[in-house]
Amino acid sequence: MSAISPECTVVLQIDGLHIAHRRLVLRDWTTAISAGVTLVCDEEGESKTDFLRLLAAELPYAAGRLNFQGVAQHADMSAYRQQVFWIEPSTAEYDEFTVEGFFSLQASRYAGFDQAALLQLIDGLALESHLFKQIQMLSSGTRRKVWIAAAFASGAALTLLDDPLAALDKSSALFVLSRMAALAQSGQRALVVGDYHAPANVPLAARIDLSLMTSA
């Protein structure tokens, strides 16, 4: 993992983590996730999603501590999750919702949800014509754009995105990269991106290469 500048604000502190889940194997692992953009990658792509699920409190671990700005994941799961945005791209959980209804649900979940930012994201990702469609009717690329719009608008201090550029058209991909770059410079939130390559023209706070740490 690349070093974190001492000037960076630590959002999530991980201490003494032990986990063995499929190919995600970490033993007595300690690190910090800081404000800005952190890339999580691995050669085969088999561990990064599980690592994001771990940060989202969806994957149990054997020992250790995840402390989010004074809130320990194991001690207060509800308070922890209120500060974390995560949607697995392939989920069917929201299929019956319209896009507009999905955004309303997310706005009710996150105290810092930014409606003005959401309008800009809807415009930038060309989602306006899809607002009244059920999510199950959308293409995989459009569904991903819906998740991404909610992620950036959520205001969540820890935001997790898996393969955010997959299935996006070029214009939308460039727009998402511009949003990542802006978030990287703001110093207010931590965005953890699971991908095979670093996002173009986005300064990274850190890089976590799971292929160097995981084993079968």
Q: Which residue has the tokens 């989202």?
A: 56
pLDDT at position 69 is: 81
Q: What is the dihedral of CA 109, 115, 121, 126, to 10 degrees?
A: 100
Say what the pLDDT of residue 2 is. 41
Residue 3 in domain: no
Tell me the per-residue pLDDT of 49-71, one tens digit each, with 9 for 90 and over: 999 999 999 999 999 999 988 78
pLDDT score, position 31: 95
- Tell me if 4 is assigned to some domain: no
Q: Report the predicted TM-score, pTM, of the whole model to 2 decimal places.
A: 0.93
The neighbour count for residue 27, using CB atoms within 10 Å, is 14
Tally the domains of the chain: 1
Asked if the structure places residue 2 within a domain, the reply is no
**Does residue 100 lie within any of the structural domains?**
yes
Composition of the chain by helix, strand, coil, percent to 5: 35, 25, 40
Supply 144's token pair: 């991903």
Structural domain containing residue 122: 10-212
**CATH for 122:** 3.40.50.300
Distance CA 208, CA 206 (A): 7
Residue 92 is encoded by which pair of tokens? 């069917």
**Contact criterion met (CB below 8 Å) for 74 and 65:** yes
Does 151 reside within a domain?
yes
